Structure 1
Amino acid sequence: MLSNGQTVMVGARAFDVLCVLVDHAGELVTKKKLFDLVWPGLVVEENNLQVHVSSLRRILGADAIATVPGRGYRFTVRLLATAPVAEAVQASKGKGRASDQQAYRRTIAVLPFVNLNADPEQEYFSDGLAEDIISHLTKSPWLLVVSRNSSFAYRNTKESNQAVGSALRARYLVLGSVRRAGTMLRMTAELVDTSTGETLWADRFDRPLSDMFAVQAEISGQIVSAIEPVYLHSEERVASEVPQQNMEHWDLLMRARWHFWRTTPEHVLQAQSLLTRALEIKPGDSASLSLMSFTHMAKLWGAWAEDPRAAVAEANRLALVAVRNDERDAFAHFTLGTALSCAGQMQAAIAELECALGLYPQAAAAAGELGRLLVFSGRTEEAEEFILQAVDASPHDPHLSLWIRSRAIGCFIDGRHADAVRYAREATAKRADWYFNHLLLAACLSAAGDMEAAQASLQQAMSGRGYNMQAIMFGHPFVHEQHRNKFLDALKAAGWQA
């Protein structure tokens, strides 16, 4: 949106709240009405609405949105009837949550392709095909694509297509299967409209394995043209521009991704080994460089890096090369932003994440990471807006725990210790295998005065792990010394020894 002629980044839900308020400018809009229009059919905390209103006030001014205690909000700014925004909002009257409906009409999710090979180790191959199609579809300027992490949560689901579409808030689903036999590939794909249950398009491809990349582009083009024929010409042109790829490199990268997503030290090391071979084939490949950067950061966050400073330096070097090699790659900018935060360069890190979101606004991981870094910068109100944006974009993401964890840290910083404990418990419940969730819960419980529970949580976090001050600094890059000291003091009170 624009503010005083300048482009201002605002989350999708905050913009929806603004549309409803402007549509009823000068009138009381109850909280119930806002929830019904902005989050139809969902159970949402009242705090979420307050966060979005606060973010709008920072942009529009504190007096732009008045609170009617116990009832709702009123938009107080005088509107010009001829203003383009006013016209757009006026046009949406009577259509319910227009922006949400429009987003739904162009949202698509690609489910993991079914691996028809008897060998379960071929799963990386079927996942890789689906991930590449996701990548193709995100290049469309008008499609909204559900993140890989959310759609892959429905692997081998028994739920109906309508139920999956509703859960992912996606009108369209891409389903498929793949069988690899020697040098041949058999691939099926279909596009389903979940609002009607109708199959809009389906096809089967029996091709040499060497034609795989052309098949992916062809599938993407068919999907796009089936959804919106008016875009057929331009999208077919884009789909036909198939980059020259090396099959061996692609295979190594897909195997590496498969291992990396499993997060254990053994899998991360296997991913590194595969990426080393992939980069020998294509030294400048942005995707391989970015993922290799994340393997080094994974060692830091897991507190098992042999030389943490060397790991930080290498993560930053790889991410910087990835961005230089492809400045339009949102994932590369997201990677560099994350790596810079490990190096303590917070402002540069935030700028990179803002760049990633500018390139691809639906990047849930980038929004969640930006929220995390804003929390550690002490900008807790701004942070919540981006954290909620990430949750909205990818509500079934396996990394949801990280975003909830960031909300807990924000509450901890603000002295809202009961809320901090609540969010820390929620984050821990979602990923009990992540020790740093237990560490945060220990700090929150300690600050809230529940020492017995804090000590139990700390013991669980530290079991078999020498978590030292250096690891704290890498995983918790507090910008302000008083926030870091508060966190450390809470841990020490629970029994942690640096």
Structure 2
Amino acid sequence: MADVVSYTRLMEAAEVETHSRYRTLRVSVIDPALVSRRGEIVKNTGDGFVAVFESPRDALRCASELQREVTGFEAQQPPERRIAFRIGVHWEPVIFDLNDVYGHGVNIAARLQSVAPAGGVVVSSVLLRVASDLSEFKFDDLGELHLKNLSRPVHAFLLLMPGVDRSTVLGASSKATGRAKLPSIAVLPFTNISSEVGDSYFAEGFVEDIIVSLSNIQELLVVSRGSTMPFRRRMIDPIEVSEKLGVRYFVSGRVRRSGKRIRLSVDLVDVTSGAVVWAENYDTDLAEVFGVQDEIATRIVEKIAAYVRRAEVKRALRKPPKSLNAYDYLLRALDLLYKFDFASFSQARGLLEKAIEEDPEYAAPYAYSAKWHNFNIAEGWSVDFDADSAEVIRLSNCAIERDPHNALALAIQGHGKSMFFRDYDSGLDLCERALAVSPSNSWAWVFSSGTPGFIGDALTGIARAERAIRLSPLGQQAFFNFCLLGQNHYLNAAFDDAIRWSKKSLNLSPRFGNAARVLAASLVAVGRMDEARQVSLHHKHILPAFRVSDYARRCPFKEPQGSLYVERLRAAGLPD
């Protein structure tokens, strides 16, 4: 149970401003924290809320993080205008009824909240008894409290936080929590607007496919399907969705049968503005509907993911440095990582290191740092091949330790073991693990396409790279997908296809050296020497320190492909 301290006074002094800041807190701080800790708001009280959780530890962690984050968020406001919460936490089964929750446990949480200091959290002894591993927290024993309208006293504890005790008010703090605050999204039940009952099952299946695919994207928090069921067959109010589910984005859709065709319309809404930021219509024959369902769901997910990434990057770039968290640092790094000029690339590494420093338990920055070292070697910038290749393995291991289901880390490590250590068996095993844990992850598919090509199974590499392109045809990684597809076509001796896809890669990322090398070798293979030399000149311009003799020692292709590829690079005019 959470309540705003002196809400009436704040509203009387500045009603519009207070309401606007409270709404901003809900969307930017409170709702993401609740979703990340598997919490759900079940009732809004105007000046606070009631939330339920799946575990006592989640509830306590969420309360603690909320207080720290709200304090940091409000630090720039004058003391008399700051919004602060009192929070009470108790653990007991409750009764759900429509948009409310009842039971003795709710009353206890409410009374604990009423005695909490501003910015503080008061917890029942019941919760502490049933919670596991609370070593990260410290408490002040408040003893047996006789609370209003409760016949029995409640043994309670105050969560110790800087500046908070039984009588003080939380002081200002500009330090935000280091926990990575990921954007959250909900897929609401699609509406069947035709009279056919069977279309409802199709709509529900579509929602399930989209949720599963979105859940494979590491940078998104996706609300479970069960939490969205109250919105079934209802008019959708963005504010209500935000307040009830604690999300920044939601997806809704409509299904209509018209004769022998099924029509599907999908919208993506940003709840901070209430605007529909992306919409699409799909139309297919009824007989083919289940055959194309996965394909349409995949396209929808890619569109959603691409928009959310763009929106979140813009949001992060607008933030002042002192308010950045681990996820924001990661976004800023990714905005620079794929530009492939040395200054941007070097800056990306520093931002990834800051993301790790902010949240040492957040797996994603470790995975992308491993990718950074991978590219650093591949582009010829590494001054210590052994150290950088070891870092690929170390950093990907750090990510896997923190998140065993991080498909990007598994795939990068698999690719790295094959590419830098020629440990193809381990590489294949790791890539298979990546695909097993996240079959809709385009990075997993494209990195898993490399090793088959290295060992002479280019057809498998082609199929996997094509799958990555279907999953991410327009995303940040499209240039890499095109390059790996071109590389596998080269290894399959389909040189015209290799030229076509390598050119596509260079059109998207002109400074990506690997694509230039594949293109140059492919042009030599078909005797187009003048064009190959032009590509070689471009390669010298973007990577002046690159030497074929250095690359020959680490070329991952099995013989005779390795030696032949190196000879063709020399023939194209790349410096030896």
Task: Sort the TM-score into its range (normalised by shorter chain).
Answer: 0.5 to 0.7
- The answer to which of 264-273 and 467-476 deviates more is 467-476
1:71-118 CA-to-partner distances (Å, cap 9, x unmatched) read xxxxxxxxxxxxxxxxxxxxxxxx9xx99996698447999xxxxxxx
Per the alignment, in what secondary structure is the counterpart of residue 481 of structure 1? Answer: coil
Q: CA shift at 1:337, angstroms?
A: 2.2
Q: What is aligned with 1:466?
A: 545
Identity %: 19
- Residue 448 of structure 2 aligns to a residue in which SS? helix
- Give yes or no for the alignment of 1:316 onto 2:379: no
Cα contact 1:408–1:424 (8 A) shared by 2? yes
Structure 2 matches for 1:18-33, cutoff 5 A? none
Equivalent position of 2:270 in the other structure: 176
> Structure 2: how far apart are the matches of 1:258 and 1:109?
26
SS in structure 2 at match of 1:343: helix
In structure 2, distance between residues paired with 1:318 and 1:468: 27
In structure 2, relative to structure 1, the CA distance for the partners of 1:449 and 1:287 (3 Å cut) is same
Q: Is 1:490 matched with 2:490? A: no
The one-letter amino acid of 1:472's match is Y
The corresponding residue for 2:445 is 367
Measure, in 1, the Cα distance between the counterparts of 2:341 and 2:216.
Answer: 21
Distance verdict in 2 for CA 1:259–1:434, change over 3 Å: closer
Does residue 293 of the first structure (1) align with residue 370 of the second (2)?
Answer: yes
| C-alpha contact (below 8 Å) 1:176/1:190 kept by paired residues | yes
Distance 1:100 1:254, change over 3 A: same
The AA in structure 1 aligned to 2:270 is G
3-state SS in 1 of match to 2:560: helix
In structure 2, the partner of 1:477 is 556
Question: In the TM superposition, what are the counterparts of 1:8-407 in structure 2 within 5 Å?
Answer: 106-107=209-210, 135-137=220-222, 172-176=266-270, 188=274, 194-195=280-281, 248-344=325-421, 345-407=423-485
CA distance in 2, matches of 1:133, 1:193: 23
Amino acid at match of 2:268: V
Equivalent pair of 2:428/2:451 in contact (CA under 8 Å): yes
Please state if 1:425 is matched with 2:503.
Answer: yes
Query: For the residues of structure 2 that align with 1:265 and 1:460, how far apart are their CA atoms?
Result: 16
Bigger radius of gyration: 2
Q: How many residues align?
A: 304
SS at match of 1:362: coil
Shift in CA distance, 139/299, structure 1 to aligned 2, threshold 3 Å: farther
Q: 1:133 to 1:434 in 2, by over 3 A?
A: closer
1:310 and 1:362, CA in 2 relative to 1: closer, same or farther beyond 3 A? same
2:538 aligned partner, one-letter code: Q
Unaligned runs of 5+ in 1: 1-94, 112-129, 144-160, 163-168, 179-186, 198-223, 225-245
Partner residue of 2:528 out of 450, 460, 476: 450
Q: TM-score, normalised by structure 1?
A: 0.52
Cα distance in structure 2, aligned partners of 1:257 and 1:424: 22
- Partner amino acid, structure 2, of 1:384: I
Which is bigger in relative contact order (C-alpha 8 A, separation at least 6)? Answer: 1
What's the offset of the Cα at 1:170? 9.2
Aligned letter for 1:267?
Answer: S
TM-score (norm 2): 0.46
Distance in 1, Cα, partners of 2:360 & 2:433: 24
Displacement after TM superposition at 1:364 (Å): 0.9
Q: What code does the residue aligned with 2:465 have?
A: I
Higher helix share: 1
